[in-house]
Structure 1
Amino acid sequence: MTTPTAPASGQLAGTGVLVRFALRRDRALITLWTAVNALMVLSMPNTLKGLYGTAAERADLLRQTATNSSLRALVGPVFDDSLGALTAWRVGVYAGALAAVTSLLVVVRHTREEEESGRQELIASGMVGRRASLTSALLTAAVANAALALLVTVGLADHGASGASALGLGLAAVGMLFATTAAIAAQLTESARLARGLTAAVLGAAFVLRAAGDSATDDGSSVLTWLSPLGWLENLRPFADERWWVLTLFAAAIALQGAVAYALAGRRDVGMSFLPALPGPAAGRLGSAAALAWRLHRGSVLGWSLAFFLAGVVYGGMTESAADLVGDNERAREIFERMGGRSAITDTFLAAMVGMLGLVASLYIVSSVLRLHGEETSGRAEPVLANAVGRLRWAAGHLVVAFGGAALIMLLAALGFAAGYGKDLGPLLAAALFQLPAVWVVGGLTVLLHGVAPRLAPAAWCIAGAVLLIGWIGPALNVPQAVLDVSPFGHLPKLPGGAVHWPPVLVLLAVATLSTTGGLAALRRRDLAT
């Protein structure tokens, strides 16, 4: 005897209301991250025009890219010398990755995170269909990706409407592909953090496959490149005789993964998963709040550590190639200097790459500090605090891992740079560790938000997004130094190669300390969030 199933319309009941709620709830996150991504793309044509203003300079760039496997591994092959094609080459992979990150955050937040917190059970008790939450999460991600596609298409239309449309649609397709990947991960796991980690691992694997394939060939034809959705994006070839049929690959993959996610969603109970957590030992082995915090964070710390070390190895190995590529191009040298260096081109490149990893480390510390918020709002903190554990001791366990983990991943990044570059561990170590005061300021502000206004704690992602916007796009747009100084990273010494000015560093450390202390004091005095 088969179990009757509800009609599709009944299983999607309430989807519209949930979509409106999700868009309202994520309006700041979606707006900021989409704006950062769009501005990164739209700012590139003018930057490239300044760097390679003549046909001879662009032709020389194509020749150097064809012979520079390290550069192709980083940004992919270039298929044409127009400003539009160079824009797609320079930022296409990274804009696609950023669209994927935005999508996975949105989907996991409105699926597995809602179930983990218990809110989904309350929603499901109303007139809401079984698959409405999943559908609303995917539609919310679709809105974010559609906005990105529209901004890119309109903003680059002057360089060719067909190429602009291809790039915009390609970025949106990458975003939606990883949105459905996140939807599957949300069905397989019991933890939102694990769902995000699995999806991020798939994204990392896609980047590695594309990089390996592009380093082997100069036309994107490697099998490894075609195994990666990011490789599909570059093989769409915006502004270079577009291959529109590549979009059918995205459509098929999105449809297939979406069907798998819907099938899994219909075969489990709310709050359960297909990969349940293993039962612990009969006798507990965690003797302190700090041990519990490390147990909760260890997977994230290990994943970020590995990623930063490998990134350091890759960027370190590219240092000499980057010097050959920039050569005597004064505009390129100027942009590298504004991003992080002042002396020899190898130092400027290393400083810029270390600075970029410092910006990314701000995402790690926000995610780790917000684990406090997740533990509190899900109700898991209350049983811990009901024992002989004070709030400060409980919070300190998480914050030690968050702030100490930031130091660890930057240390491993420095070791990776030294391994890839083959020398100068001391200056690279100093350059990496000098990023920490700015990273800790972002973490301190997150603690302050959580302590003073826990409902606003997720807005810390907006702080991280603003830091990325200023750090990534500001130098390329030649914005005034006053704008760059809004970010804590704008006050750091430019290492390696620059002089160390201690007063700004000490001020940043003081700001991080005061904001963290203020957040903990507020946490101690307020009621627990629910």
Structure 2
Amino acid sequence: MTVGTAPVSKTSEQFAGTARLVRLALRRDRIQLPIWLLALTALQWFSAASVIGLYPTDAERQSFAAVTAASPVALATNGIVSGYSIGAILASQIVMPLALATGLMTTLMVVRHTRQNEETGRAELIGAAVVGRKALLTAALVVAVGANVAFGVLDLLVLLASDLPLDGSLALAAGVAAAGIAFAAIAAVAVQVTDSARTANGLAGAALGVAFLLRAVGDMTGTVTEGGTRVVPSWPSWLSPIGWAELVRAYDDNAWWVLLLPTAFAVAVVWIAYVLTEHRDLGSGLVPTRAGPPRASRLLPTALGSAWRIQRMTLFWWAFGLVLLALVYGAVGDQVDDFLGDSDQVTDLFQQLGGGVEDLVNAYFSAIFGMMAIAVAGYAVQALLRMRSEEVAGRLEPVLSTAISRPRWMLAHVGIVTAGVVVLQLLTGVAAGLAYGIVIGDVPGQVPSLTGAALAFVPAILVVVGVVALLFGGLPGWCVGSSWGVLAVCLVFGLLGPLLGIPDTVRDLSPFAHVPAVPAEDVAAAPLIVLTLIAVVAGAIGVGLFRRRDITTS
């Protein structure tokens, strides 16, 4: 370094350009971020309204809290119980899902604005301007923290509008927001370690999974106290950001000091991320990319082989998670009557979610398969949007310069996702049927029955596949936000429509509203055939539009 030259590692230079990068990130997220915030706020509103309506008396709330505290499965899938006030019941049901969702939102956000920018070459272009080495990461963290704070405010307003106490509402919103910020810090380290956005998302997702499992184990092995309506979790819950959000015990202890744990964790992990930025080059990760085989597979240069290589890990992780959920849901199928207790409101809730079926077990499985079908539709959206990622990253044009045509390339991706939908539904049905059959001693009877019930949702999911393909082919610049919006419509109108009092004419906009209430009802072929035809037509139009439009990178 020349004598007299100011050192380039000065703090002011390290963070130069952060404000402009924040504005750029907010512009990129102008569609996705509002969708996330509105969806999470709607989930909180719906949950608050449901708890208030379903458990109007102290006796019903106390009974529900006691049943939940005594059920290891309920503790694993919901969260710890901290009394039986309306707020405490709501916190036991919603804190864990919200903490998990905000964690997913912020990890995806941090990876998108850091590692993905480096992977696509945007970071190199940005670095040609007056931008410090740590500005890109700082901007991503500022946006992620801001998103969690914004959701915390929206969450607080919904809780106050539901006539819940201010102190407990503040504690719940702060705990969920703090968990999201902690996961943003984890993502900040993940992007330093890896050299691809896909791997960084995988590491951050694995951290979410570990946090969920630690909390589940801690809650399941906890101690029930105070008349059976309060759970003191064991030590694994104290190692999880999701567990920290629960241990605030909103509407009960309101233990504000617990928020020091995610705060200290986030500060320490972000500091580690900043240190790691000094030890790697732009575009690379600390862990070098593993060299591939010396010779590629004969299928790799084909459209189908290339698409499979891109899509395979997404399908694998979705299959892993859905099979675990299906096993859990199937194993508790025989406990539905005990879990619902004597609450007519809860019974009515499950019957509405299950398509009006009177038999509670059948209504339970109908509701479960409906929710898991929405999750599989989420897989389809995520997997199909990889086509847009390949296009924006500039990797599509070289592929199309070979003998692979546009229709073949797109049909390969759509075909693999379609096959993935069928496989996921098949695995879901088999896993739920196997677990339920083992519990009641009827595996040969339950596996075919519940597998058929799960497969009945395939045509509805394929409609989502066709619509996303149509959006990608005709509206590439809007397809990401619009595709997730389609999924939100399916969730609200198709699954939650009966509970929200949405008219049938509006509910019919969701393909899931046309699926029979399986396994209680016989499967009618006509609506499923119509849904399949709609999916095929939408997909074919999407392929035709893609064949004629320009390839874009923005």
Given the alignment of the two structures, is residue 185 of structure 1 paired with residue 190 of structure 2, yes or no?
A: yes
The residue aligned with 1:361 is 376
Given the alignment of the two structures, is residue 296 of structure 1 paired with residue 310 of structure 2, yes or no?
A: yes
Is the contact made by 1:452 and 1:519 (CA closer than 8 Å) also made in structure 2?
yes
Hey, what's the Cα distance between the residues in 1 that align with 2:194 and 2:463? 33
Give the superposition deviation at 1:5: 4.2
Q: Which amino acid aligns with 1:386?
A: S
The residue aligned with 1:194 is 199
Give the superposition deviation at 1:380: 1.4
Query: Aligned in 2, Cα 1:493/1:17: closer, same or farther, shift over 3 Å?
Result: same
Given the alignment of the two structures, is residue 134 of structure 1 paired with residue 137 of structure 2, yes or no?
A: yes
Hey, what's the Cα distance between the residues in 2 that align with 1:275 and 1:122? 24
The residue aligned with 1:221 is 233
Hey, what's the Cα distance between the residues in 2 that align with 1:115 and 1:402? 27
Q: Which amino acid aligns with 1:171?
A: V
Hey, what's the Cα distance between the residues in 1 that align with 2:514 and 2:321? 26
The residue aligned with 2:259 is 247
Instruction: Give the counterpart of 1:498 among 500, 521, 529.
Output: 521
The CA deviation string for residues 467-486 of structure 1, in whole angstroms up to 9 with x for no partner, is 33445654443433334333
Give the superposition deviation at 1:44: 2.2
Q: Which amino acid aligns with 2:380?
A: I
Is the contact made by 1:305 and 1:412 (CA closer than 8 Å) also made in structure 2?
yes
Matches of residues 451-470 of structure 1 in structure 2 within 5 Å?
451-459=473-481, 460-470=483-493
- Structure 2 counterpart SS, 1:279: coil
Hey, what's the Cα distance between the residues in 2 that align with 1:496 and 1:76? 29
Hey, what's the Cα distance between the residues in 2 that align with 1:473 and 1:152? 20
The CA deviation string for residues 192-220 of structure 1, in whole angstroms up to 9 with x for no partner, is 12211221121122212222222222424
Task: Please report the TM-score for the alignment, with normalisation by the length of structure 1.
Answer: 0.95
The residue aligned with 2:461 is 439
Given the alignment of the two structures, is residue 35 of structure 1 paired with residue 38 of structure 2, yes or no?
A: yes
Q: Which amino acid aligns with 2:339?
A: L
The residue aligned with 1:409 is 424
Hey, what's the Cα distance between the residues in 1 that align with 2:510 and 2:121? 37
Hey, what's the Cα distance between the residues in 1 that align with 2:52 and 2:246? 21
The residue aligned with 1:107 is 110
Hey, what's the Cα distance between the residues in 2 that align with 1:136 and 1:466? 31
Is the contact made by 1:44 and 1:87 (CA closer than 8 Å) also made in structure 2?
yes
Hey, what's the Cα distance between the residues in 2 that align with 1:405 and 1:207? 25
The residue aligned with 2:275 is 263
The residue aligned with 2:511 is 488
Give the superposition deviation at 1:160: 0.8
Q: Which amino acid aligns with 2:512?
A: F
The residue aligned with 2:404 is 389
Q: Which amino acid aligns with 2:325?
A: A
Q: Which amino acid aligns with 1:181?
A: I
Q: Which amino acid aligns with 1:396?
A: L
- Structure 2 counterpart SS, 1:425: helix
Say which is worse superposed, 307-316 or 492-501, in terms of deviation: 492-501
Give the superposition deviation at 1:519: 1.0
The residue aligned with 1:518 is 541
Given the alignment of the two structures, is residue 346 of structure 1 paired with residue 361 of structure 2, yes or no?
A: yes
Is the contact made by 1:164 and 1:239 (CA closer than 8 Å) also made in structure 2?
yes
Say which is worse superposed, 281-290 or 474-483, in terms of deviation: 474-483
Q: Which amino acid aligns with 1:322?
A: V
Hey, what's the Cα distance between the residues in 1 that align with 2:526 and 2:154? 41
The residue aligned with 1:285 is 297
Hey, what's the Cα distance between the residues in 2 that align with 1:187 and 1:485? 46
Query: Larger RCO: Structure 1 or Structure 2 (Cα < 8 Å, ≥ 6 residues apart)?
Result: 1
Query: Aligned in 2, Cα 1:321/1:220: closer, same or farther, shift over 3 Å?
Result: farther
Hey, what's the Cα distance between the residues in 2 that align with 1:482 and 1:448? 24
Hey, what's the Cα distance between the residues in 2 that align with 1:457 and 1:141? 23
- Structure 1 counterpart SS, 2:309: helix
Give the superposition deviation at 1:453: 2.1
Q: Which amino acid aligns with 1:223?
A: W
Query: Aligned in 2, Cα 1:127/1:469: closer, same or farther, shift over 3 Å?
Result: farther
Hey, what's the Cα distance between the residues in 1 that align with 2:495 and 2:488? 10
Query: Aligned in 2, Cα 1:343/1:496: closer, same or farther, shift over 3 Å?
Result: farther
Hey, what's the Cα distance between the residues in 2 that align with 1:455 and 1:143? 25
Say which is worse superposed, 279-288 or 143-152, in terms of deviation: 279-288
Q: Which amino acid aligns with 1:442?
A: V
Instruction: Give the counterpart of 1:427 among 449, 454, 478.
Output: 449
The residue aligned with 1:305 is 319
The CA deviation string for residues 356-409 of structure 1, in whole angstroms up to 9 with x for no partner, is 111111221111111111112212122222221111222222222212112212
Instruction: Give the counterpart of 1:84 among 87, 90, 100.
Output: 87
Is the contact made by 2:22 and 2:143 (CA closer than 8 Å) also made in structure 1?
yes
- Structure 1 counterpart SS, 2:12: helix
Matches of residues 51-200 of structure 1 in structure 2 within 5 Å?
51-157=54-160, 158-200=163-205
- Structure 1 counterpart SS, 2:31: helix
Query: Aligned in 2, Cα 1:471/1:252: closer, same or farther, shift over 3 Å?
Result: farther
Give the superposition deviation at 1:267: 2.2
Hey, what's the Cα distance between the residues in 2 that align with 1:472 and 1:127? 49
Query: Aligned in 2, Cα 1:473/1:54: closer, same or farther, shift over 3 Å?
Result: same
Number of residue-to-residue matches in the alignment: 530
Q: Which amino acid aligns with 2:233?
A: S
The CA deviation string for residues 299-334 of structure 1, in whole angstroms up to 9 with x for no partner, is 111111111111101111122223211134222122
Hey, what's the Cα distance between the residues in 2 that align with 1:309 and 1:168? 31
- Structure 1 counterpart SS, 2:366: helix
Q: Which amino acid aligns with 2:309?
A: R
- Structure 2 counterpart SS, 1:79: coil
The residue aligned with 2:19 is 16
Give the superposition deviation at 1:411: 1.4
Is the contact made by 1:411 and 1:429 (CA closer than 8 Å) also made in structure 2?
yes
Hey, what's the Cα distance between the residues in 2 that align with 1:111 and 1:508? 40
- Structure 2 counterpart SS, 1:159: coil
Give the superposition deviation at 1:343: 3.4
Query: Aligned in 2, Cα 1:228/1:528: closer, same or farther, shift over 3 Å?
Result: same
Q: Which amino acid aligns with 2:465?
A: G
The residue aligned with 1:333 is 347
Query: Aligned in 2, Cα 1:482/1:107: closer, same or farther, shift over 3 Å?
Result: farther
Hey, what's the Cα distance between the residues in 1 that align with 2:141 and 2:490? 27
Hey, what's the Cα distance between the residues in 2 that align with 1:438 and 1:198? 31
